Every structure is written in C-alpha cells, then in structure tokens.
C-alpha cells in the first residue's frame, strides 16, 4: 500500500492509475453502505485520517484501508457525497512525517562504497571496500549515527533553502524505515516485525563544518531533511535490503546503488538503538547512503578543502529515487 499525506494533511493511498483515494472518507462510505450508523465516527476510530494514528492502529487500520480502496474503485463519492478520488497532479503531496514528535535516527557511514570513497577523500589515500569489510570483520568499524529533527523535514517539491553558513551543501539518498510498534530491547531476528513501512529521506549535510564533530548543525538546519513522497507499507516493499536507489542533480546521475551494500542492515540498528531506549510508532531509522555524494567524489586541494564543483548550488533540482517507493524531487533556492 502506497500511502501519502495530502492537502489538509489527509491520509490517502495512491493507485497505479495515478489516482489518490481519501481513505477515511472512502471507508466511511463503505460503512454507510453496510448499514453502519454513525459511520463517520466509526471511520475516524478504525481508519483515522491522521498518519500517526493510522500507524498506531495497526492491522485493523490496514484491513479497513483495503476495504476503503475496494469501495472507492466502485463508488466515486463518500457517504454524504464528499469527493474521495483525486488526480495525483491535482493534490499537494506532503512529507509522510508521522508527527513532529517523531525521532529520526540516522545511520552513519553505513554503506561500503560510500564509506570507502569518503575515507579516501578525507584521508587522501586509497581506501577500498575490502578495507572497510576487513575493519567490520575485525570489530574495528564501530556503529555510529546522529539524529535529525522532525521540524527540519520538508515534503516533495518544497524548496531546500541554501544555508548561509556553508559553501559545501551535500546530498544523500536514503531509505528510511518507519516503526509501527513500541520497540524496546528488540532482538535482531524479530526486528523487522516492528517496521510499518518505508519512505525516502534526503540527508542534506554541510560538509565544511568540520569543527562540529557532533553533527549539531551540519546535519540540522531548516529544510535539511526532505522526505517522501510516499510511505510504502512493508508488505508491498518486501525485502528492503535489496532495493535499488539513486539521485540526480539537474538530471545528471550522481548516485546509483543498492541497499545490498549496507554495512549493517535495519535489524541491527533497531536492536542496537532499542537497548536502553524505547522507540515508538512513527519513529524513523534511516539506513545510510550509497557512493556518489559530493563528499566521496570531490578531491581535496593542497589545503585539505574539498573542491566545490560537485556540491549543491542555488537553482539545482534534486531527484532522489528508490525502487518501489518513488522519486522525491526538491529545488535548491537562495536564502
């Protein structure tokens, strides 16, 4: 199921025909047709129009959404004549961020090819994928990460505001897993049962703020987390660790890779994070990026600075793409 948040934060589902269904109103129509009284109240309870409430409702909401979809395929309006079908081009798609309280955990340097390329540029020496694999096997390559703030999330087609403090704005296409259940002390072999679905997250970074080792500002600034366009349920994605992914800047491919190159997959991060930390429905874990960022493809000059050519500039158009999810497009604009 390909879910989206649209217009006045309504919860919808995208059909292959490019049609968006208002799930809540469609389900209310289904209930009225079945003879249920107070159909709006029942629909709001079982299939709420709020994304976080829908995720928290779990299996009953998914089942109700399936009934709503079947109803909408045969009925063009809701229970009281409301419009429930929209053309995708006619709606404003927003970020599928469950809540401003959602925590966004970002896995750091979690792809073999990106890590090898980035270390090669940073250390001015050739680091290979085999080198990284050896460090992982020997226990020397430690897991690390950082948090993105939910208030920095923007949706499809919303502008990325070029920060005043940088001249090295970078991009990273990532697959983000959205949790559907309370998670604490989760075992790796059970971890994927906690994932509700997946979306795209573009992890924008300031690469010339090296004095900030804690990523306090380099990873968190206004518009630093484009997300969307859809939240695709786990059953439709299948194995998220084989998805292809890529990113274009002004139509030119910069990144193209596969989730197969993740150093540590989602079960590790879910288990690792939930030791002594409870995660909740709507919290997000982003799995890292593949090679092709400006950081791992830009050589350094004699003073150790990355050359600016491949970094983002005002006027650029970024398209982050992930198989089975879609394309997240955002322009870069001046402050």
Q: Decide if 47 contacts 54 (C-beta within 8 A).
A: yes
The pLDDT of 103-124, averaged and rounded, is 92
Residue 329 pairs in a beta bridge with: 319
Average pLDDT over residues 286-310: 90
Mean pLDDT of the chain: 96
Contact 243, 259 (CB under 8 A): yes
Whether pTM > 0.75 for this model: the answer is: yes
Q: What average pLDDT does range 298-302 have in this prediction?
A: 82
Residue 267 in tokens: 């079960």
> Which of helix, strand or coil describes residue 192?
helix
* pLDDT on residue 210: 72
Please compute the mean of the pLDDT values over residues 4-10 and round it to a whole number. Answer: 97
Would you tell me how many other CB atoms lie within 10 Å of the CB of residue 299? 11
- Does the pLDDT at position 212 exceed 70? no
- Return the pLDDT at 154: 98
For the stretch 200-210, pLDDT in tens is 999 999 998 87
C-alpha distances in Å from residue 305, one per residue of 146, 301, 317: 24, 5, 25
Residue 213 banded pLDDT, cuts 50, 70, 90 = low
* DSSP, res 90: G
pLDDT tens figures, 137-155: 999 999 999 999 999 999 9
Residues 95 and 176 sit within 8 Å (Cβ to Cβ): no
Is the pLDDT assigned to residue 227 strictly greater than 70?
Answer: yes
Name the more confident of 299 and 43: 43
Q: Residue 240 has what DSSP assignment?
A: G
- Please compute the mean of the pLDDT values over residues 168-180 and round it to a whole number: 98
Domains (ranges, CATH) in the chain? Answer: 2-92 (2.30.30), 104-333 (3.90.850.10)
Tokens of 305: 């600075």
Q: What mean pLDDT is predicted for residues 70-87? A: 96
User: Quick one: average pLDDT of 269-287?
Assistant: 98
Give the model's confidence band at 124: pLDDT under 50 very low, under 70 low, under 90 confident, else very high: confident
Query: What whole-number percentage of the chain has pLDDT above 70?
Result: 99
């Amino acid at each position: 199921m390909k879910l989206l948040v649209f217009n006045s934060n309504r919860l919808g589902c995208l059909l292959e025909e490019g049609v968006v269904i208002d799930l809540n109103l469609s389900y209310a129509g289904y209930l009225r047709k079945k003879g249920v009284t107070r159909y709006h109240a029942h629909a709001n309870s079982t299939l709420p129009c709020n994304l976080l409430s829908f995720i928290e409702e779990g299996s009953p909401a998914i089942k109700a959404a399936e009934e709503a979809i079947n109803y909408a395929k045969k009925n063009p309006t809701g229970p009281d004549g409301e419009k429930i079908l929209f053309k995708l081009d006619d709606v404003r798609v927003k970020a599928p961020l469950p809540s401003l309280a959602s925590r966004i955990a970002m896995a750091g340097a979690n792809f073999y090819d990106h890590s090898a390329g980035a270390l090669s540029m940073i250390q001015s020496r050739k680091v290979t994928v085999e080198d990284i694999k050896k460090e992982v096997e020997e226990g020397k390559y430690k897991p690390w990460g950082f948090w993105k703030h939910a208030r920095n999330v923007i949706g499809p087609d919303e502008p990325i505001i070029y920060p005043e403090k940088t001249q090295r704005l970078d991009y990273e296409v990532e697959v983000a897993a959205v949790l559907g259940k309370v998670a604490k002390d989760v075992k790796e072999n059970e971890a994927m049962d906690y994932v509700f679905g997946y979306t795209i997250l573009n992890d924008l970074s300031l690469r010339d703020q090296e004095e900030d080792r804690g990523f306090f500002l380099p990873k968190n600034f206004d518009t630093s987390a484009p997300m969307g366009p859809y939240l695709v349920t786990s059953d439709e994605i299948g194995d998220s660790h084989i998805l292809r992914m890529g990113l274009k800047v002004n139509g030119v491919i910069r990144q193209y890779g596969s989730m197969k190159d993740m150093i540590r997959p989602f079960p590790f991060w879910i288990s690792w994070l939930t030791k002594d930390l409870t995660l909740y429905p709507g919290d997000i874990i982003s799995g890292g990026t593949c090679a092709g960022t400006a950081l791992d493809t830009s050589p350094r000059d004699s003073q150790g600075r990355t050359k600016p050519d491949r970094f983002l500039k005002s006027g650029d158009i970024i398209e982050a793409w992930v198989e089975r999810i879609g394309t997240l497009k955002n322009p870069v604009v001046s402050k």
